[in-house]
Structure 1
Amino acid sequence: MANVTQRTILFLIADTGAGHRSAANAITTALKLISQRDQEEWQTRRQGSKESGQESEENRNDSIYPPPTYRIEIVDVFEEYSRFPLREVVKLYGPTIRYNPKLFGDLFHRSNREGTVLAANSLASPLIFNGLLRLFTTVQPDVIVSIHPLINFVTVRALRKLGLHIPFITVVTDLVSVHYAWFAPGVDGYIVPTEQAKELYLKRGLDPQRVHLLGMPIDPKFTRAVDDKVTLQRKLGLEPGIPVALLVGGGDGAGGLPTAVRAISQARLPVQLLVVTGRNRRLYAHLQRTHTKLHVPARIFGFVHNMPELMHAADVIVTKAGPGTICEALSCNLPVVLSGYVPGQEEGNVDFVLKNEVGMLALHASELVNGLRRLIKPGSPELQKYLRNASQVSRPGASFDIARCILSYLPAPDQVSVWQSSQWQRRQRMMSGRLRSAIRIRRLRGRLPRPILRSPVMRKPQLRVRELFSSDGDASES
């Protein structure tokens, strides 16, 4: 029996917004908590077996071989492994949705079809294909998890070229408006957040056995117990008994926060505000200077790490239609008022909120004020309906379910990694000396101090595809 002590899980993301990395971090935290629990249970069983002095053969093997630990790497593949101009094109996502969202919506809808996706992948593939091969051969993952739609088709091609069967899983982080690029034929498993996303998958004619409806990955801290609402409100400097509205603009502080704060203040609604500006330091500074002039009490925060406490202290949340924030709010049984959305990509999120009756859409200041006025009214039937539905729709433990699903694709504990197989040994003999050096450098990087890692000497070598396998006649990819 093999003594497997560690498995490697590789997450592929792109920082085109906070959502993809947040999802990867949420799953990673769940994986670590599962691993910690497994290790503790193994230690308990082992100690119990020693104390009893009676062990079956099965228990003896179990006590000898601990459960595996997990080495987890999260990689922004476009930033770290793609070439010009693909890396720069991907960076246009943020400025486009901020300054010309209508243009982004048009691009989303025009590209959301098979022909456009295949053509775009043909153009982009040569700019990232070799980088993916280098990434896989240096990290040597036991399972690969994609959390971005633009990575999936080219990853399938790269794995086929590599000639090794490494399980490849896609975690979809769009609730309803699932772009065609998310579902690439050849992926081993697809994890989707909603029934609507699953229906789109099935309409593509893909294998129904490979899709798992598990929910949206949110930070496991949303599953932990918190203080009661009154205690949290006092902790945050609020006055219990007065309705609390939480205003969130996303990680970058976008979403019309100043307009919403101004409208609520001018309407003199009987509410207290918790305002989270995210990474928008300029907005944070502005609101800190001016919040004493508001006609409603307001607490101003920048980027926060206690969002579960803020949500449990609030009675309603006002936010743009980001899928992560919506699912976090529902896990805290918090009704949602959507103040904006990204055309195309987030349109389905609006439909999700409205059709499940867990909130409302308020794109204009007057709609926001009127909607909040109805929700904060004592005994509001609309608020009670949203609360009931939120508890039915939410999946606060989704990250744990997703983590367990990913772990199910790993090799069995008594099996060696594909990277230790004779097949990989044969492939290695065909590799160029330059790539072998890249693999050794990658392994060394994990043991070096950060200042040395930033040295130009330690920068990743740029390999051409034809240099990957020095004697592989069909190793070129066009």
Structure 2
Amino acid sequence: KLRERGVASDKIFVTGIPVDVFNRENHDASSNVPLVLVMGGSQGIGPLEKIVDVLDDLKPPFEMAVVAGKNKRLYRRFQKRADRFKKKVEPFGYTQEVPRLMRRAALLVSKPGGLTTAEALALGLPIIFIDPIPGQEAKNAALLLKYGAALEARSAEETGALVERLFQEPRRMEAIRKQMALLARPDAALAIAQQVLDGELAF
């Protein structure tokens, strides 16, 4: 589209979204119980409560971290219910802890926002997409689904079925990680910096 608008090809560099340099080598191994990270974007959008309720009834042993973002009402509801879940459920509001949680997680249930998707790809953290917004989020999801680098759930019940299946079939989880590696650009920030140092980009 940039070329269609008259931008010269030699002025276009595909680097990916720059993300913090973190990977599985500094994986947070504070617990031996797998963590499922559930997020609804910065606004805490989507059927997060229903998803957590469904996941709470699954047989495989795992813990959950739920990020409600700026949705304070949702965060307070999770806080009030935290002791009533069968599994350990830790609620978060809008937090800077997401990188740590992603390192700790075995599986991510999230909307396919650009930054979240880029970070998950860099980590090789398998994603189940929920409620993509038409436009960029839908395109993000479509690309990863095309390459077998993610899964998509259209309901809380389908989310639960996919989570259970992935924990029961670790080879499927590993296959998704391998496909994610084909799309990941963990060195995007370094690539941009190198272009600047080489004089290819000027601001």
TM-score (norm 2): 0.87
Where 1:252 maps in the other structure, the secondary structure is: coil
The residue aligned with 1:391 is 181
How far has the Cα of 1:201 moved from its partner?
Answer: 3.9
Q: Is 1:358 aligned to residue 149 of structure 2? A: yes
Query: What is the CA distance between 1:321 and its match in structure 2?
Result: 1.2
Partners of 1:397 and 1:214 in 2: CA distance: 8
8 Å CA contact 1:221, 1:308 repeated in 2: no
1:356 Cα deviation from its structure 2 partner: 2.1
SS in structure 2 of the partner of residue 274 of structure 1: strand
Does the aligned pair in 2 maintain the 1:249–1:319 contact within 8 Å? Answer: yes
| Counterpart Cα distance in 2 of 1:322 and 1:289 | 28
Equivalent residue number for residue 46 of structure 2:
255
Matched residue SS, 1:213: coil
Q: CA deviation at 1:315?
A: 0.7
Alignment correspondent of 1:222: 22
Which of 1 and 2 has higher RCO (CA within 8 Å, sep 6+)?
2
| Matches of 1:252 and 1:406, distance apart in 2 | 34
Q: How is 1:285-434 mapped onto 2 (pairs within 5 angstroms)?
A: 285-377=76-168, 379-406=169-196, 408=199, 409-410=201-202
Larger helix share, 1 or 2: 1
Does the CA-based 8 Å contact 1:269-1:296 persist in structure 2? no
SS state of the match for residue 388, structure 1? helix
Distance 1:249 1:406 in 2: 35
Moved more, 325-334 or 258-267: 258-267
User: How many residues are paired up?
Assistant: 201
> What is the SS of the residue equivalent to 2:78?
helix
2:28 and 2:181 mapped to 1: Cα distance?
17
Equivalent position of 1:475 in the other structure: none
Q: CA deviation at 1:276?
A: 1.2
The 3-state SS of whatever aligns with 1:273 is strand
Aligned-residue offset at 1:266: 3.6
Offset, 1:395: 1.1
CA distance, structure 1, for counterparts of residue 71 and residue 140 of structure 2: 24
Distance in 2 separating the partners of 1:328 and 1:299: 21
Unaligned stretches of 5+ residues in structure 1: 1-199, 234-239, 412-478
Change (3 A) 1:345 1:391: closer
Identity rate of aligned residues, in percent? 28
Structure 2 residue runs of 5 or longer lacking an equivalent are none
Give how far 1:359 is off: 1.1
Q: CA deviation at 1:401?
A: 2.0
| Aligned partner of residue 130 in structure 2, secondary structure | strand
Secondary structure in 2 aligned to 1:222? Answer: coil
Cα RMSD for the two superposed structures = 2.3
User: How far 1:311 moved relative to its partner?
Assistant: 0.9
Map 1:153-232 onto structure 2 (within 5 A): 200-202=1-3, 206-218=7-19, 220-222=20-22, 226=26, 228-231=27-30
SS in 2 for 1:376: helix
CA, structure 1 residues 221+282, in 2 after alignment: closer, same or farther (shift >3 Å)? farther
Deviation track 1:304-335 (CA, whole Å, cap 9, x = no partner) reads: 22322211111110000111101111111100
Relative to structure 1, the CA distance from residue 305 to residue 381 in structure 2 (aligned partners, 3 Å threshold; closer, same or farther) is: same
Distance in structure 1 (CA, Å) of the matches to 2:188 and 2:23: 10
Q: State which structure, 1 or 2, has the greater radius of gyration over its C-alpha atoms.
A: 1
Distance 1:224 1:403 in 2: 23
Q: CA deviation at 1:221?
A: 4.5
Q: Could you give the per-residue CA deviations for residues 56-114 of structure 1, whole angstroms, max 9, x where no partner exists? A: xxxxxxxxxxxxxxxxxxxxxxxxxxxxxxxxxxxxxxxxxxxxxxxxxxxxxxxxxxx
Cα distance, 1:225 vs structure 2: 5.7
Contact 1:273 1:296 in 2 (8 A): yes
Query: Residue 255 of structure 1 contacts residue 319 of structure 1 at CA under 8 Å; is this kept in 2?
Result: no
- Name the TM-score, length of structure 1 as normaliser: 0.39
Task: Check whether the contact 1:308–1:332 (CA below 8 A) recurs between aligned residues.
Answer: no
**Secondary structure of residue in 2 paired with 1:358:** coil
Contact 2:60 2:167 in 1 (8 A): no
Superposed CA deviations along residues 160-205 of structure 1, whole A, max 9, x for unmatched, are xxxxxxxxxxxxxxxxxxxxxxxxxxxxxxxxxxxxxxxx444666
Tell me: CA distance 1:403–1:251, structure 2 relative to 1, closer, same or farther (3 Å): farther
Structure-2 separation of matches of 1:342 and 1:354: 15
